[in-house]
Chain A
């Protein structure tokens, strides 16, 4: 009996251990490697080791000059800011489009829901690179999105709000960048929202209606607050990868939309400055993780207070 118990206990530890092992091997260790690079000195092809054996003694060389230069050059801060700004704009648009989308999907007939879900995931069957590239054809002069927008003179208003550089020029602007990012990341907003909304107890809406709430009121007072977890999950899934996005700004963005992924690339491959590139990456991770951790802690505290 005791042996069985031990066996079960060990099994449980193993099962729980797998995700932790995953996090250690694929997140923590690479992060530590990057962190090490950021405080190392650049050699000719790669960084020098921080631990050297010299004159019969082990020497640890740590350099913080990259962190210092990060604070000196406002290019970095401007780029961080622009990355976060475009990621936030993308998240807002994804939420605005994704919420009604998920809502109607979750309320659709049970028989057609799997088909709708399939349609949301269908784009993943084509390479993401191709799909982003395809937008070039749509937004370039004489592409049909371009034709529709210019015929309706919507490009005038877009230019007025400074999201395109000049009327008639849609490509390589904040406009084309946000279109590409919203298009690419929309499914990541829809899926968690859908799974949240689909399992909502519809009797709560009946109860709200019974107590005098119009359907619109019931939506804002019951459905939206109850889908908070889905909204948060979807927003994180969109916001976090958008901050570090490299490919979409490269293909669809322009001089106005320099993002941190591009800076990282330049430091690594053009300047061959691995410590600087690593520093940019480490600071980016901190910029995202610290607010998230604070937010999570606040959430947990609010839950505890309620309990």
Chain B
């Protein structure tokens, strides 16, 4: 469980440094000894379910909460004791918190005017922001006269207008419906990258975190469980919690029976795993093997794989969920455990289409599994 700078290849250029931060709400540690290093220009996501402490951490960065212990340093400047209105940080609030009595134009100009920026410069900057988020013709509208997507863009423009050193995004797309969310994710990342601002975002939506962020920290119960690029978190989860939280996974408990430097064998209830990499462990210890559903192949005949009799199991299809581009089969194994297998629907029709009640063999390669000891 590494939650420190060692995960970050660009650790040398730490821009935002969070050191051992604790937030104690009368005995309850909402954030528990969190340390993070974030590089300049990164889009960093704090991912976790509600109540995991991600929002509290974000609010400490913004200055709305004071850390009980630890330090936050941005660009060499310690933020301790600095009120929100003095921090070079702007936040895009969940459901936006746009000022309802001000027009779009005045909303965006609000922060600039507080800095005492000359009028013509304010106008110039606001116009540039409106252009950036393509809301030029809505400048005179009030927030309630805009759609959800437009409000989101006003909020973005407002938080970018002051050119903050750090931008915080609290569930940036949480208030949009699914279709719009997918379109906006890419658009938002493009705008952020165009401006080049460093971002910390908070989300409970793993898809959102994976599409938008360059790195993700998975949080649970106030602690950081793993930090890494989206593909690292997905393909090499460090713990059972992370493997289970991110995406779909088949988790099988077993014992380590053979431990070689280049491969290990894990005996589980329904099958045995030949894992093509070594792990740090001792023979006989209890481990979990995680296999993603899309890394499993499904066929009627017994597969003749190289690792036979490992890495294959027979079962009965109890359920199948058709998603259009792929189908998820729920295979009932001998012990009664369920194995999820997802298959791409490459062809439109197949004569030997597997269906309910069929017996089928599932198999996977020795690079498909992850062995988890925690």
A: which residues have CB within 8 A of B? 201, 203-204, 206-214, 217, 221-222, 225-226, 306-307
Contact size range, B: 20 to 34
B91 to chain A, nearest CB (A): 5
B361 part of interface (Cβ distance < 8 Å): no
B170 nearest CB neighbor, chain A only: A203
B61 to chain A, nearest CB (A): 11
Contact (Cβ within 8 A) B115 A212: yes
Contact (Cβ within 8 A) B85 A213: yes
Contact (Cβ within 8 A) A225 B101: yes
A208 is contacted by which of B100, B110, B142, B159 (Cβ under 8 Å)?
Answer: B110
Query: Given contacts A211-B162, A307-B145, are A222 and B64 in contact (CB under 8 A)?
Result: no
Flag B150-183 by CB within 8 Å of A: 1 or 0 each. 0000000011001000000000000000000000
Contact (Cβ within 8 A) B97 A207: yes
Contact (Cβ within 8 A) B142 A209: no
Total number of A-B contacts with CB less than 8 angstroms? 57
A211 nearest CB neighbor, chain B only: B111
Query: Given contacts A203-B93, A211-B114, A217-B114, are A226 and B85 in contact (CB under 8 A)?
Result: no
B84 part of interface (Cβ distance < 8 Å): yes
B83 part of interface (Cβ distance < 8 Å): yes
B: which residues have CB within 8 A of A? 62-64, 83-86, 89-91, 93, 97-101, 110-111, 114-115, 142, 145, 158-159, 162
A222 is contacted by which of B63, B99, B142 (Cβ under 8 Å)?
Answer: B99
Chain A residues near B86: list those with CB within 8 A: 212
B83 nearest CB neighbor, chain A only: A209
B98 to chain A, nearest CB (A): 8
By Cβ-Cβ distance, the 10 closest A-B pairs, closest first, are: A211-B111, A212-B114, A207-B97, A203-B97, A209-B84, A225-B101, A209-B85, A210-B91, A212-B85, A213-B114
Contact (Cβ within 8 A) B85 A207: no
CA distance in complex: A207, B159 (Å): 9
Chain A residues near B93: list those with CB within 8 A: 203, 206-207, 210
Chain B residues near A204: list those with CB within 8 A: 97, 99-100
Contact (Cβ within 8 A) A226 B101: yes
B94 nearest CB neighbor, chain A only: A203
CA distance in complex: A222, B64 (Å): 18
Chain A residues near B91: list those with CB within 8 A: 207, 210
Chain B residues near A306: list those with CB within 8 A: 142
CA distance in complex: A217, B83 (Å): 14
Query: Given contacts A211-B90, A222-B99, A307-B145, are A206 and B110 in contact (CB under 8 A)?
Result: no
Chain B residues near A225: list those with CB within 8 A: 101
CA distance in complex: A207, B114 (Å): 13
A204 to chain B, nearest CB (A): 6
Contact (Cβ within 8 A) A211 B97: no
Chain B residues near A208: list those with CB within 8 A: 99, 110
Contact (Cβ within 8 A) A206 B114: no
A196 to chain B, nearest CB (A): 13
30 sampled A-B residue pairs with Cβ under 8 A: A203-B93, A204-B100, A206-B64, A206-B84, A207-B91, A207-B93, A207-B97, A207-B98, A207-B99, A208-B99, A209-B64, A209-B83, A209-B85, A210-B62, A210-B63, A210-B85, A210-B89, A210-B91, A211-B111, A212-B85, A212-B86, A212-B114, A212-B115, A213-B85, A213-B110, A213-B114, A222-B99, A225-B101, A226-B100, A306-B142
B84 is contacted by which of A203, A210, A217, A222 (Cβ under 8 Å)?
Answer: A210
